[in-house]
Structure 1
Amino acid sequence: MKKLQVYVVSDSVGETGEQVVKAVATQFRPNFDHTIIRKFPHITNKDHIQNIVEIAKAQDAIIVFTLVEESMRKNMIEVCNQKGVKSFDLLGPMIAMFESETNQKPLEEPGLVHKLDEDYFRKIEAVEFAVKYDDGRDPRGLLLADVVLIGVSRTSKTPLSQYLAHKRLKVANVPLVPEIDPPEELYLVDPKKCFGLVISPEKLNIIRRERLKALGLSDDANYARHARIEDELKHFYKVVEKIGCEIVDVTNKAVEETANVIIHKIEQGR
């Protein structure tokens, strides 16, 4: 069986070219017998291309390349033709087709797809973090979070946590109840990362009464009474003062508005 050597040359990490080569190679050699696939990532100048082609020539290898810059692709083809090395351009023909279809010039910036992938996985990680450390479930998350939200019940802590998570921020939130001491970890959090969410007693009364109705309960329960709300807010202010964190009034604010306020404060702090 003839030995097959393939050099995958890329201006990024080379994963795209490697996966395509493997997909094709398995159609001929499912177990990759007598097959060598070697990656040359982050190739960004023509001297590198010259050296790789010379090595490929000496080892009777073929070259498959994913280069986004047109000048680099042309140089690769030219050098391979000069040296008699077989090569295949994976991206060039498709870039040309897209350029014709869109009437736009390509950015020619290596690694953009991996930046998108990294951004996507950061968002997923942040969303999972927000779920795991929602509603004070695990105080350990407070010290790992980018943002910590505290507030009495029905101040939009959970939806706000999820919204900020989609902005790639790891958020933990803690409900404040007078009968329960906040976790010790809360007082170890950097005050710049912590935000107390407050709402007017009147608005909170309306929200809580509607919540009770939705649950099929009487709307005059202690949970929605003004006296109870005032007690909870007094406790809230005591905790906030001890932490020394920023207070954000969420009365009549959409989650997006509150999130923008917090993001702005964080960026200012940086």
Structure 2
Amino acid sequence: MTRLHLHLLSDSTGETLENIAKAGIAQFENVEAIRHFWPMVRSDVHLDRIMEEISLNPGIVLFTLANSQLRRRLENRCRALGLPHVAPLDAVTDALSNILGQEARNRPGRKHILDEAYFARIEAIQFTIAHDDGVGHENWEEADIVLAGVSRASKTPTSIYLANRGYKTANIPLVPESPPPRNLYGLKHPMVVGLTISPERLVQVRRNRLLSLNQAPETAYVDIERVQEEVAFARRMFADNGWPVIDMTRRSIEEAAAAIINLFNERVLAE
């Protein structure tokens, strides 16, 4: 296992840098990335303190700094320490500048201006949190997406991820002994998506959940025959209602959300 110190410096929240770093590290095997997160870097004093920490844990430095003087200071310090340093947005900005025929307006945190999209994302997050696990079903018509699935099928984390992408998302657990609210079957605006998972994988997830709560791992909740019945019940419901289905058995939350967003966009285009 190779250990790598990864320093992320941003003059704003650093969300973009973090996503780039995650995507890059995911391309390599047997790498333990130790991320050091340095947001809101906007002064020489702050930068100097950070460089002291970086010198103690040398590694690669990724940065997005709009202030040219601060950027040069960082680059000079990195060269002095012999550290690789990369501004990952430079190539994109330069290409856009050439195509558009204008200089980029460098402003710290410009990409996070509080515009309509920002407030829409906050609203989506608030809606999603308030409509988790079947709560607030009377407001489901206001949702963009409703996720349905058995317990521990990754409904909540997928909902939160979608909310961070700006989609109002509700979710409902499917339990054979407790039918879901009737309005689930008559929704017009939201796209209902079924989340399924193999019974074997589901038993493993549920058992780990019980152990983490210091509860007995041998109950009907993890009985394989019972779980098979639950999954079959959910699949029949998906098929009877013509809802698209995402299999979570081998999918990450990010992959599942991307597939759901594609389905949503196709639905919008078809309307």
Q: TM > 0.5 between the two?
A: yes
Structure 2 portions without partners, runs of 5+: 1-65, 72-93, 98-102
Following TM superposition, by how much is the alpha carbon of 1:155 offset from its aligned partner in structure 2, in angstroms? Answer: 0.6
State the 1:106 CA deviation: 4.0
2:176 partner letter? P
Go from structure 1 to structure 2 and tell me whether the alpha carbon gap of 1:155 and 1:121 turns closer, same or farther (over 3 Å shift): same
- Paired AA for residue 117 in structure 2: D
1:100-111 superposed matches below 5 A? 105-106=103-104
Alpha-carbon contact 2:203-2:222 (below 8 Å) kept: yes
1:159 corresponds to which residue? 157
Say whether 1:188 aligns with 2:179. Answer: no
TM-score calculated relative to the size of structure 2: 0.58
Matches of 1:218 and 1:114 in 2, distance apart? 47
- Residues 259 and 113 (structure 1 numbering): CA distance in 2 closer, same or farther, change over 3 Å? closer
The separation in 2 between residues aligned to 1:191 and 1:143, in whole angstroms, is 6
Structure 1 residue identity aligned to 2:227: I
Whether the 8 Å contact between 2:144 and 2:190 is mirrored in structure 1 is no
Query: How far 1:166 sits from its partner (Å)?
Result: 0.4
- Of residues 139, 142, 145, the one that matches 1:141 is 139
Residues 123 and 192 of structure 1: CA distance in aligned 2, closer, same or farther (over 3 Å): closer
- Equivalent-residue separation in structure 2 for 1:253 and 1:113 (angstroms): 30
User: Structure 1 stretches (4+) deviating beyond 4 angstroms?
Assistant: 97-104, 112-115
Unpaired segments ≥5 residues, structure 1? 1-96
- Whether contact under 8 Å (1:192, 1:246) holds in the other structure is no
Structure 2 counterpart of 1:225: 223
Aligned residues: 171
Alignment-mate amino acid for residue 172 of structure 1: A
Pairwise CA distance, 1:171: 0.2
Q: Which amino acid aligns with 1:175?
A: P
Q: From the CA coordinates, give the structure whose radius of gyration is larger.
A: 1
Counting only pairs closer than 5 Å after superposition, residues 209-220 of structure 1 correspond to structure 2 as 209-220=207-218
- TM-score, normalised by the number of residues in structure 1: 0.58
Matched, 1:121 2:119: yes
**Residue identity opposite 1:126 in structure 2:** A
Return the alpha-carbon distance in structure 1 between the equivalents of residues 145 and 222 of structure 2. Answer: 28
The answer to whether the Cα contact below 8 Å between 1:192 and 1:266 also exists between their aligned partners in 2 is no
Decide whether the 8 Å contact of 1:127 with 1:170 is kept in 2: yes
Give the letter for the 1:213 counterpart. Answer: L
Describe the SS at the equivalent of 1:220.
coil
Q: What is the distance in 1 between the residues matched to 2:136 and 2:196? A: 23
1:1-270 mapped onto 2 (5 Å cutoff): 105-106=103-104, 116-190=114-188, 193-270=191-268
**Matched-pair identity in %:** 37
- Using a 3 Å threshold, how does the CA distance of structure 1 residues 98 and 185 change in structure 2: closer, same or farther? same
Q: Give the stretch that moved more between structures: 159-168 or 182-191.
A: 182-191
